[in-house]
Amino acid sequence: MAAVAELTLRRIAGALGAEVDGVDLASPLSAEDVARLRAAWLEHQVLFFREQPLGAAQFMAFARAFGRPVEYPFVQGIEGYPEIIEVKKLAHETANFGGIWHTDTAYLERPPMASMLLAREVPPQGGDTLFASMTAAYDALSSGMKRLLEGLRAVNSSAKADVTRTREDRIRTDGRGDTKKEYVAEHPVVRSHPETGRKALYVNFAHTVRFAGMTEAESAPLLRYLFEHQVRPEFTCRFVWRPGSIAFWDNRCTQHNPINDYHGYRRVMHRITLEGDRPMGSDPCG
């Protein structure tokens, strides 16, 4: 069977997100297939696929068609596939992995270009994921605010208390032995997308601690405004998972937040992140 029979896209919200039909991701993708999907992904920022019960090798092949899978620094991968981690919450647990608005691993010098999440087990209700467009959030700012943010850099840390709590259960059961206690990286507050050229806000509640050259107290009022602004409802979409569903998002211009509303049930996902580059601002030197 051809990987792409008759590709159709259905937008699910005004700001970002499209559901893709007519694709069998268990079959190899041609160069033309990849180009069409990548163009749609760049336009919509996150793509969703249904009924794709891929094995680990098939999931990895899909990921490699778009980039180079990399390992997550805090949790070891599944057996035989170090780049695929289990994102799970068990029935007795109360905190969910990554249960906070964030862009993946912004505390790394080269954060991932993209992330892919494949649903293995989902609760009978709840466990949806929200996504937000950081280009839409940037575009909606006033010209004065844009001028203020231009040239600012943000310090991001893996050790913010709110986010460390969301991975404690997984580190306890699946943690890597070589993990550093803290990763810190400084990135532009306004990031230019390397493929589309569009500007996006690149701060997030989970990882951004302060502005470079400022104290946390000095940074807090403006950061608080940006954190609230960038997840306004009109910048978001919501995805309801089913087993075999896949979300593929552009980590350079989106944030996401898995909703923790399914206590007493299991939710198990497999995640792959793809190698990215160093975030650049409007200045070519970053």
User: Which helix (DSSP H) or strand (DSSP E) does residue 149 occupy?
Assistant: helix 143-149
Residue tagged active-site, from 102, 193, 198, 207: 102
Contact 116, 48 (CB under 8 A): no
- DSSP assignments along 129-148, one per residue: EEEEEHHHHHHTS-HHHHHH
256 is catalytic: yes
178 is catalytic: no
Report residue 215: phi and psi, to 5°: -80, 170
Question: Strand, helix or coil at 38?
Answer: helix
Q: Give the separation between CA 181 and CA 171, rounded to whole angstroms.
A: 12
CB atoms within 10 A of CB 141: 18
Q: The tokens 């494949």 sit on which residue?
A: 118
Contact residues for 52 (Cβ-Cβ < 8 A; gap 6+):
24, 25, 26, 118, 244, 245, 246
Contact residues for 221 (Cβ-Cβ < 8 A; gap 6+):
none
- DSSP assignments along 217-256, one per residue: HHHHHHHHHHHHHTT-GGGEEEE---TT-EEEEETTTEEE
Residue tagged active-site, from 187, 193, 252, 256: 256
162 is catalytic: no
Contact 44, 18 (CB under 8 A): yes
Q: Give the separation between CA 211 and CA 217, rounded to whole angstroms.
A: 10
Residue tagged active-site, from 44, 167, 267, 271: 271
Nearest to 190 by CA among 176, 200, 175: 200
Residue tagged active-site, from 104, 191, 193, 252: 104
271 is catalytic: yes
Report the catalytic residues: 102, 104, 256, 271
